[in-house]
Amino acid sequence: MHTAQKITKVFITRRIPQEGLKILSQAGVCKVSLWDSDEPVPRAELLKGVAGAHGLLCLLSDKIDTEVLDAADMYYTVISTLSVGFDHMAMDEIKKRGVRVGYTPDVLTDATAELTVALLLATARRLPEGVVEVINGGWSTWKPLWLCGYGLSGSTVGVIGLGRIGMAIARRLKPFGVKKLLYSGRTAKSNAAEVEGEYVPLDTLVSESDFVVVSCALTPDTQGLCNKDFFCKMKNTAVFINTSRGAVVNQEDLYQALSSGQIACAGLDVTTPEPLPTDHPLLTLKNCVVLPHIGSATYSTRGIMAELSANNLLAGLQGTDMPSELKF
Ligand code: NDP
Ligand code: DGY
């Protein structure tokens, strides 16, 4: 008697680099269905796509909640996210259902740290303002008091969340002549000695730093961490940089701090929502530099992320060890 062969189905929520797709097609173990667009999959299509799928490859912009998990019925074995951050997924619910999760730590650390340094320098030295002045004719002559900013040499830098990326940022900033490197988080880090990092309470970090860099994960504890109280403790000459997640910052409070001169300037690679509406008050401020969440955006990093997330997905489908499994 002929028995119907079970087809393993996976759904990918966006067009991803070819490197990842190639791995999945060459493996020949699953039928891939792809939302073949650079734009996010509409919710209804996501729910349709996951129905009956055994695996899901998603992005940080996809909300993976109970509704999505329910829509996948009983088949789900693995979710692979093309990101290191996992705050877009209902982890408690995922755990309850015994679904394995793959993610992309380490491979994007260098690119994100590099972008953070670029954003810090661009913000502190007012590069976007300078570029605009050159284009619009505001550059009349060399002026001793024009477009001055803040330098890293001799400064105190505070890193909130000295994890993989926080540490990579610290390593890159130290050679600029940073005098003191403070960090805060839930635990002191044994590798902090490499950057002469000093573990301090958050309040100390906020009030003593010339540059405050946020590189922690978004969790219930860090949500809204950078609020009015936080900005009030910062120096008036301090620079605030966030490349973690937008929701770590209370943006109304940040706007007040920037517009009132409570802090000097801010550079954000991440916002709430994303994209930030073009009429958002933060975009009216010269002392706020906003980037469109491009921390890991180098060609090679995105290719490697795609490979890793494809390999995580395959391992999840086959019940083998994942190259990067999230343990939770
Ligand atoms: P890690 O897990 O290595 O680091 C996360 C850090 O967050 C840890 O040092 C942890 O400190 C800290 N943290 C957790 N809870 C708190 C808390 N309550 N207060 C202060 N710190 C806390 O992750 P990565 O370094 O690889 O990535 C960090 C984040 O960066 C990601 O979660 C993601 O959101 C973001 N990201 C953004 C990118 C971009 O494009 N802008 C690119 C890649 C990542 P402790 O160990 O003490 O708990
Ligand atoms: C992540 O991986 O969490 C980033 O935000 C994008 O690379």
Tell me the ipTM for this assembly: 0.99
My answer on whether 35 and 160 are in the same domain is no
My answer on whether 23 and 132 are in the same domain is no
Of all ligands present, the nearest one to the C-alpha of 267 is 1
Range of the domain at 271: 108-290
Task: Report in angstroms the alpha-carbon separations of 46 from 13, 34, 35, 67, 308.
Answer: 7, 10, 8, 10, 22
Beta carbons of 248 and 214 less than 8 angstroms apart: yes
Of all ligands present, the nearest one to the C-alpha of 271 is 1
Nearest CA to ligand 1 atom 16: 185
CA of 52 to the centre of ligand 2 (A): 27
Specify the DSSP element, H or E, that contains 306.
helix 299-318
User: Which amino acid is residue 187, in one-letter code?
Assistant: T
Ligand 2 atom nearest residue 82's Cα: 2
Radius of gyration for the alpha carbons in the chain, expressed in angstroms and rounded: 22
Q: Is 11 helix (H, G, I), strand (E, B) or coil?
A: strand
My answer on whether 86 and 155 are in the same domain is no
My answer on whether 250 and 268 are in the same domain is yes
My answer on whether 132 and 252 are in the same domain is yes
My answer on whether 49 and 155 are in the same domain is no
Q: How many helices (H) and strands (E) in the chain?
A: 11, 12
Asked, for residue 247, whether it belongs to a domain, the answer is yes
Asked, for residue 260, whether it belongs to a domain, the answer is yes
* Phi-psi label, residue 28: left if phi above 0, alpha if psi -120 to 50, beta otherwise: left
Beta bridge partners of 57: 12, 80
Please give the pLDDT value at position 73.
Answer: 73
Q: Token pair of 225, please?
A: 């961490």
CA of 296 to the centre of ligand 2 (A): 6
Pocket of ligand 1 (CB under 6 A): 84-85, 105, 108, 112, 160-166, 184-187, 215-219, 221-222, 243-245, 269-270, 293, 295-296
Count of structural domains, the chain: 2
Q: Look up the CATH number of the domain holding residue 102.
A: 3.40.50.720
Task: Give buried/exposed letters for 25-51 (b at 16+ CB in 10 A, else e).
Answer: eeeeebebebbeeeeebeeeebeebbe
Asked, for residue 3, whether it belongs to a domain, the answer is no
pLDDT by 10s per residue, the chain, length 328: 444 456 899 999 999 999 999 999 999 999 999 999 999 999 999 999 999 999 999 999 999 999 999 998 766 789 999 999 999 999 999 999 999 999 999 999 999 999 999 999 999 999 999 999 999 999 999 999 999 999 999 999 999 999 999 999 999 999 999 999 999 999 999 999 999 999 999 999 999 999 999 999 999 999 999 999 999 999 999 999 999 999 999 999 999 999 999 999 999 999 999 999 999 999 999 999 999 999 999 999 999 999 999 999 999 999 999 999 999 8
Cβ of 208: how many Cβ atoms within 10 Å? 18
Asked, for residue 326, whether it belongs to a domain, the answer is no
Asked, for residue 325, whether it belongs to a domain, the answer is no
Q: Residues 6 or more apart from 187 whose CB is under 8 A from it? A: none
My answer on whether 154 and 45 are in the same domain is no
293 as an active site residue: the answer is yes
Which of 84, 88, 243, 301 most suits a substitution to test ligand 2, by most atoms within 8 Å of the C-beta? 84
Asked, for residue 113, whether it belongs to a domain, the answer is yes
Ligand 2 atom nearest residue 296's Cα: 7
Which of 59, 61, 81, 84 most suits a substitution to test ligand 1, by most atoms within 8 Å of the C-beta? 84
For tokens 């408690």, name the residue.
92
My answer on whether 195 and 205 are in the same domain is yes
My answer on whether 264 and 305 are in the same domain is no
Q: Is 119 helix (H, G, I), strand (E, B) or coil?
A: helix
Which is it for the CA torsion 14, 20, 21, 23, positive or negative?
Answer: negative
Q: What is the signed CA dihedral for 20, 25, 29, 34, rounded to 10 degrees?
A: 70
My answer on whether 180 and 47 are in the same domain is no
* Phi-psi label, residue 98: left if phi above 0, alpha if psi -120 to 50, beta otherwise: left
Q: Is 51 helix (H, G, I), strand (E, B) or coil?
A: coil
Asked, for residue 135, whether it belongs to a domain, the answer is yes
Burial class (CB in 10 A: 0-12, 13-18, 19+), 256: middle
For ligand 2, say whether the CB of 60 is within 6 Å of any of its atoms: yes
Asked, for residue 2, whether it belongs to a domain, the answer is no
My answer on whether 121 and 223 are in the same domain is yes
My answer on whether 120 and 158 are in the same domain is yes
CA of 128 to the centre of ligand 1 (A): 27
Q: Is 49 helix (H, G, I), strand (E, B) or coil?
A: helix
User: Which amino acid is residue 211, in one-letter code?
Assistant: F
Please give the pLDDT value at position 11.
Answer: 97
Beta carbons of 313 and 100 less than 8 angstroms apart: no
pTM above 0.95, yes or no: yes
Of all ligands present, the nearest one to the C-alpha of 291 is 1
Using CA atoms, how far apart are residues 16 and 37, in angstroms rounded to an integer?
Answer: 9
